[in-house]
Chains A and B, each alone.
Chain A
Amino acid sequence: MILGLALLSGCDREAREVRGKPLPETAVAAQTSTLFPGGGSAGPEDPRAEMYAENAYHISEGGRLYRQMNCVGCHANGGGGMGPALMDDQWRYGGRMDQIVASIDQGRPNGMPSWRGKLTPTQMWQLAAYVRTLSANVPKDAAPSRNDTMSNIYPRTLAEPEPPSASDPAGAKGPAR
């Protein structure tokens, strides 16, 4: 049983899609409000999320892109700077994989650039998977145990996961921009 689980998760971790799953490479349409007049809830997460979220290869590619595309300059190693922190449980526009992809793809009004046309959807998903490691919200065996650079941050594999707070995305941390 335990062995089986280990094998299973090991599978996910190492999985490579030779041709990719036959999912449309379109932009995601994640909702970023938790208010549904008269009741309701956000739809299920985009099915592509799973494929990227727990996969060591995609996470590591995401980490490379996070530095190469200068996300790190605005968000630091998760603590934030010109942009908000990405390592805590507070999300202005949602901390789900598809919501993060939507933030990257569309950009956000208070200074988050839109990367549409500059990054492929695959790259955005990879980035989202890496962003989730900053709050330790990926399986420990898939997250990088050490940073590629010389940053001094606490290894994410040792950190406690911080699931997005239930009140998000509305509850923006800190003063609203």
Chain B
Amino acid sequence: MRWRMRACVMAALAIWPAMQARAQGNGTDDGQWVMPAHDYASTRFSRLDQINRGNVGQLKIAFTFSTGLLKGHEAAPLVVGSTMYIVTPFPNYLYALDLNRPGAPLKWKYDPKPAAASQGVACCDVVNRGAAYANGRIFFNTLDDYTVAVDAETGAEVWRTKLGDINLGETMTMAPLVADGKVLVGNSGGEMGVRGWLTALDAGTGKIVWRAWSTGPDKDVLIGPDFKPYYAMDRGKDLGVKTWPPEAWKIGGGNVWGWISYDPELKLVYYGTGNPGPWNPDQRPGDNKWTAGIFARDVTTGQARWYYQFSPHDLFDHDGINEQILITMKVNGKPRKVLLRAERNGYFYVMDRVTGQVIAADPYGNVNASLGVDLKTGRLIPNPDKVTTQGKVVRGICPASPGMKDWNPAAFSPRTGLVYIPHMNLCMDYGAMEANYIAGTPYVGADVKMYAGPGGNRGVFTAWDPGARKAVWEIKEDLPLWSGALVTAGDVVFYGTMDGWFKALDATNGKLLWQFKAGSGIIGQPISYRAPDGKQHIAVLAGVGGWAGAVVAGGLDPRDPTAALGFAGATADLPGKTTGGGMLYDFVLP
């Protein structure tokens, strides 16, 4: 089935070198790192090339900085001018380090003082995925649902806006994107029956400009006359109500806790929506729009332009929140504006980002949860053997709930044309049961147990060729990969492992060129920048945690494999391999 579908678009996809990232990003690389994804196209590609395949083996520590915290550190540091900014997990400190002085000492610390109680409603450790810089300000979210703007020079708070309510189980963990004078932010809470949204705040004042809900009537979702989804399955009036049992959309999830990209030419933002709630699918017959899919929206008005659902009526907690990398690529000889997504459901999507058409969707690991993607209808083809249902334990589902890849972002190099994907190889047993909605408590209804997939390795680092639609090389990792990737113009690619190895590989063939053992597991996002001394640096936060590392960060008991929503079973050995401890590591050539 899958193969036939694939044949009809056996298209010649070819990377159209060089121009892509430049078209969407901030043109030349000025050596700063002002947003977690480096640029609006979300390439995580640094044009700096002092550090290259030949000399990366000599990388040495330039300085370190302890955050003083033991929870999962998922954020990317930022570098603006001569200052480095680090936002931490709860209690969400913002540190500014002075890169002009030896050892990069602390310049100031901003403490937003989030409510302690918010820790109890954060599904998967109390993480924060980073801050964003624009016009002299640093913007980030707090776990207890504030977006704050801080003066980048002084650390003084400029504004703070409350956007959600922890008593509904709502938290904020994602990194904002600043575009068109607006700060775009979304909520978390897919495990607590929280209704998802994306909100645009005025960067100057913090006032809400628009809010687009992920479920409910079209007017709430900001669906109007401009909305032209590519596939029939996503067309119709008020699907955010009609594809749910009565009222279920009000507690239906679709949270926006992942990544946003922006195309300044089209003035469109792209972002995905999380899983529908509860996990027990029998309590929500229907497609559950607009969860587990991707929206393109006009940045000025918030009006939806198109939408595509990766996982209609999601059966496995396969959120659709992963990053989208915007490039221009030749398809059948013609350059097209596309977006690339290593999706949680296990397929690598190439989509036309003007129309929302799926050009290709190929598995990049072991998938049996579904049988493929029907490129005519756009629909994911369920595997009848793996359909989860109440009162039954379905075994051997791959990929598991965190998917082939979770939030941790891939990188794209216009030099090699490859996408570097840190991801997982996990399968699971899934027992769905009745979930009872009590506001502010979990709304899940599933006992899950995860374990390593075929081959026994729980992590994989894959270099994917989106044109050839296949992996060029891959590295098997014992532990799940939960860190982001970075690739540079020196053709070096970086990522970290959950037991603390920070690795540099040859971007062309995956050869290990250098590694460093950090004090705690790495789940952060590496960056590269040019310091005031003119030298290229590489920086990464260590500090294990996140959903995959909750067993360490939360001190959980892995004798219960259902702990941490089933992840503890797959990482029961982690407490014997690493301990918590947030630390920034910064590297430079001697």
Contact = CB atoms under 8 A, between A and B. Distances in A.
Interface of A: 67-70, 72-74, 76-85, 87-88, 90, 109-113, 149-154, 172-175, 177
Interface in B88-134: 116-123
Nearest to B392: A150
Given A76-B563, A151-B431, A88 B557 contact: yes
A85 B560 contact: yes
A174 B554 contact: yes
A148 B191 CA distance: 22
A69 B557 contact: no
Contacts of A79: 556-564, 568
A168 to B, nearest CB: 14
B561 A153 contact: yes
A113 B349 CA distance: 41
Given A73-B441, A175-B555, A152 B561 contact: yes
27 contacts: A73-B443, A73-B444, A74-B120, A76-B562, A76-B564, A77-B560, A78-B557, A79-B560, A79-B561, A79-B562, A80-B555, A80-B560, A81-B123, A81-B550, A84-B554, A84-B555, A111-B120, A149-B431, A151-B562, A152-B429, A153-B561, A172-B555, A173-B555, A174-B555, A175-B70, A175-B553, A177-B116
B434 to A, nearest CB: 9
Contacts of B438: 69-70
Contacts of B122: 82, 111
Interface SS, A side: loop
B565 interface: yes
A80 B564 contact: yes
Interface in B535-579: 550, 552-565, 568-569
A73 B439 CA distance: 13
B561 to A, nearest CB: 5
Interface in B217-246: none
A72 B448 CA distance: 12
Shortest 5 CB-CB distances between A and B: which pairs? A111-B120, A174-B555, A73-B442, A79-B563, A79-B560
Contacts of A73: 191, 441-444
Question: Among the interface residues B435, B550, B556, which one has the most CB atoms of the partner chain A within 10 A?
Answer: B556
B449 interface: yes
Nearest to B120: A111
A82 B442 contact: yes
B459 interface: no
Interface in B33-90: 70-71
Nearest to A111: B120
B556 A85 contact: yes
B433 interface: yes
Given A69-B438, A70-B438, A153-B561, A81 B556 contact: yes
A123 B189 CA distance: 28
A87 B116 CA distance: 24
Contacts of B553: 174-175
Nearest to B192: A73
Contacts of A70: 435-436, 438, 441-443
A149 B117 CA distance: 29
A112 B166 CA distance: 12
Interface residues of B, number: 44
Question: Among the interface residues B120, B122, B557, B562, which one has the most CB atoms of the partner chain A within 10 A?
Answer: B557
A111 B71 contact: no
Contacts of B449: 152
Given A81-B550, A84-B555, A175-B580, A110 B561 contact: no
A174 B574 CA distance: 13
B526 to A, nearest CB: 24
B447 interface: yes
Nearest to A135: B557
A159 to B, nearest CB: 8
Contacts of B562: 76-77, 79, 151-153
B393 interface: yes
A162 B70 CA distance: 26
B206 interface: no
A150 B447 contact: yes
A166 B556 CA distance: 20
B440 interface: yes
Given A74-B442, A79-B562, A111-B119, 13 more contacts: A69-B438, A70-B442, A70-B443, A74-B120, A77-B562, A78-B563, A79-B559, A80-B557, A81-B556, A82-B122, A82-B442, A149-B431, A152-B449
B441 A113 contact: yes
A72 B444 CA distance: 10
B178 to A, nearest CB: 30
Interface in B367-382: none
B443 A110 contact: no
Contacts of B560: 76-80, 85, 87, 153
A95 to B, nearest CB: 14
Nearest to A172: B555
A124 B116 CA distance: 24
Contact of B121 (A76, A82, A90, A175): A82
Question: Among the interface residues A78, A112, A177, which one has the most CB atoms of the partner chain B within 10 A?
Answer: A177
Nearest to A118: B438
Contacts of A72: 442
Question: Among the interface residues B550, B554, B561, B564, which one has the most CB atoms of the partner chain A within 10 A?
Answer: B554
Nearest to A174: B555
Interface in B172-197: 191
B441 A69 contact: yes
Contact of B123 (A82, A87, A112, A172): A82
Contacts of B117: 109-111
Interface string B344-367: 000000000000000000000000
Nearest to B442: A73
Nearest to A150: B431
Contacts of B118: 111
A36 B70 CA distance: 30
Question: Among the interface residues B560, B563, B565, B580, which one has the most CB atoms of the partner chain A within 10 A?
Answer: B560
A76 B440 CA distance: 16
Nearest to A69: B438
A74 B438 CA distance: 13
Given A68-B436, A69-B438, A175-B580, A82 B120 contact: yes
Nearest to A72: B442
